[in-house]
Amino acid sequence: MTPDTGLDLVTGAFSYSGSAIAERLLDSGRAVRTLTLHPERGHPLQRRVQARRYRFEDPAALARDLEGVGTLYNTYWVRFDHGTTTFATAIANSRALFDAARRARVQRVVHLSIANPSAESELPYYRGKALVERALAEVGVPYSIVRPTWIFGGDRDVLTNNIAWILRHMPMFALPGSGRYPVQPVHVEDLARICLQVAQADHDLTVDAAGPETMPFEELVRLVRRAVRSTSPILHVPPVAMAYMSRALGVIVRDVVLTPEEIRGLTAGLLVSHQPPLGRIAFSEWLAANSASLGRSYANELQRHF
């Protein structure tokens, strides 16, 4: 076995879940390297993390960037197709990354997936996640797969923050369909803790990362509305109409607010786990403690990543 150098690599350590994992590793005494699309972008962890640019097109260089790494924590993925950034290229890039980890003799890959992936899914996000899991299982490196539900918390929260922003600033909140489909949010710090725990496994492992509370999506929205003291009415609209409304709001905020595929995944109840919850931080308790700052400004996904 390759000796442990004390170095781990977190892809996207300046992103949302990646930064939570990197910070926990640093606090435990590990050195951290990252691969990122934006190594020059300012971030609180920039001075503590070795930043290198993704080089998926150069397999030898990608393997060199992984030399000496004990555990690769992989958060790399795309939320939607945008220009040359597509689900197809993300799957191919993930395969290249896993192959580079094998050639660099990385001891374990901890891969961040999604709850309820399926290679037969009609939703590109969920199908792509399943295909990446398959690629990891086939490459021959010991692995742990972590499947989060809906991640919340931290200062880079997008989804919960933007629900609060809409409730604070828009005349109404549109809810796709019945609103009775379940969600099971997991705090980003719980997710990071789970990732570090499964890195210690001595066998291949797949676990869900879900929080201790499961509730209908409408109940979650009403909790946020109450917490931010909004009086905006909550209206039920058909999912197809919700897609058009999300696109219209996206024009206003210059962002992709919610894709039709994300709406279908949400209303299908895919944002829950069917395993005992590993998360400890309850969404309702976190919300009560953070309501004053939540939704004060809009979190723009396109600006962060493109």
Judgement on whether residues 30 and 61 belong to the same structural domain of the protein? yes
Question: Within a domain: residue 113?
Answer: yes
Q: Residue 249 and residue 256: Cα distance in Å, rounded?
A: 9
* pLDDT tens track for 166-191: 999 999 999 999 999 999 999 999 99
User: Same domain for 79 and 101?
Assistant: yes
User: In the prediction, which pLDDT does 1 show?
Assistant: 58
**How far apart are alpha carbons 284 and 185 in whole angstroms?**
10
Tell me, yes or no, whether 205 and 62 share the same domain.
yes
For residues 162 and 175, give the distance between their C-alpha atoms in angstroms, rounded to a whole number.
14
**Residue 2 falls within a domain, yes or no?**
no
Q: Which domain holds residue 256?
A: 156-184+213-305
What's the CATH code of the domain at 27? 3.40.50.720
Predicted confidence (pLDDT) per residue in 243-282, tens digit: 999 999 999 999 999 999 999 999 999 999 999 999 999 9
Q: Is the pLDDT score of 84 beyond 90?
A: no
What is the residue whose two structure tokens read 């795309």? 78
Q: Which residues contact 180 (CB under 8 A, 6 or more apart)?
A: 216, 217, 218
**Cα(9)–Cα(46) distance, integer angstroms:** 14
What's the mean per-residue pLDDT of the chain?
96
Q: Work out the end-to-end distance of the chain between its first and last CA atoms, rounded to an integer number of angstroms.
A: 39
Residue 55: inside a domain, yes or no?
yes
User: Count of domains in the chain?
Assistant: 2
Mean pLDDT of 57-83: 96
Q: Do 255 and 194 fall within a single domain? A: no
SS3 90: helix
**Do 59 and 197 sit in the same domain of this protein?**
yes
Please report whether residue 1 resides in a domain: no
pLDDT in tens, 193-245: 999 999 999 999 999 999 999 999 999 999 999 999 999 999 999 999 999 99
Q: How far is CA 89 from CA 69, 141, 152, 153, in A?
A: 25, 22, 27, 29
Q: How confident is the model at residue 304 (pLDDT cuts 50, 70, 90)?
A: confident
Q: Indicate if 202 and 68 belong to the same structural domain.
A: yes
Q: Are residues 130 and 172 in the same domain?
A: no
Predicted pLDDT of residue 33: 98
Give the tens place of pLDDT for each residue, 101-155: 999 999 999 999 999 999 999 999 999 999 999 999 999 999 999 999 999 999 8
In a shared domain, residues 143 and 177: no
- Kindly report the CATH number assigned to the domain that includes residue 229: 3.90.25
